[in-house]
Amino acid sequence: MRLRSVPLGAAVFCLVAILAALTASVSSFAALRPSTIPDWLQRHVGDGEGQISRVVLERARALYQKKVSEGPVSNPCYFAMDATRPGDLGNSVLGQRYYVICEAKQIFRAVSS
């Protein structure tokens, strides 16, 4: 039995296709995980004015919870910023892209710069 060589371009293409398929399956699996965001805070999640995007909130909460568990943070509130939102909406109107979240008191506040 004689082995055939596979052209390098075809091998690279197959490898990229496999990696793309794996990445898609991992991200779709992540979307199925249950939300750990409390119900009262869930009402503030979205893409509208005064709302925080899910990914920004999840990252801010994860960092806050990590720092609290490590000990250096004792503040009951944390701060988040959505860099994808404009800070200046034009006509001297500032966009709300900063968020103050106090879960213990169930406070959510969207603020402008």
pLDDT tens digit sequence for 66-107 = 999 998 788 899 999 888 776 666 777 667 788 999 999 999
pLDDT confidence of residue 2: 65
- Whether 44 is in a domain gets the answer yes
> Are 3 and 68 spatial neighbours (Cβ–Cβ below 8 Å)?
no
Segments forming the whole domain that contains residue 40: 35-112
- Whether 101 is in a domain gets the answer yes
Confidence of residue 54 (pLDDT cuts 50, 70, 90): very high
- Whether 30 is in a domain gets the answer no
Q: Which residue has the tokens 């103050």?
A: 100
- Whether 19 is in a domain gets the answer no
> Are 79 and 100 spatial neighbours (Cβ–Cβ below 8 Å)?
yes
Residue type, 22: L
- Percentage of the chain with pLDDT > 90? 39
- Whether 11 is in a domain gets the answer no
Domains in the chain, number = 1
Instruction: Report the greatest alpha carbon distance in the chain.
Output: 76
Confidence of residue 49 (pLDDT cuts 50, 70, 90): confident
> Are 53 and 47 spatial neighbours (Cβ–Cβ below 8 Å)?
yes
- Whether 100 is in a domain gets the answer yes
pLDDT confidence of residue 21: 62
- Whether 3 is in a domain gets the answer no
pLDDT confidence of residue 106: 96
Return mean pLDDT, the chain.
78
pLDDT confidence of residue 50: 87
- Whether 105 is in a domain gets the answer yes
Cα–Cα distance for residue pair 23/96, rounded to 1 Å: 33
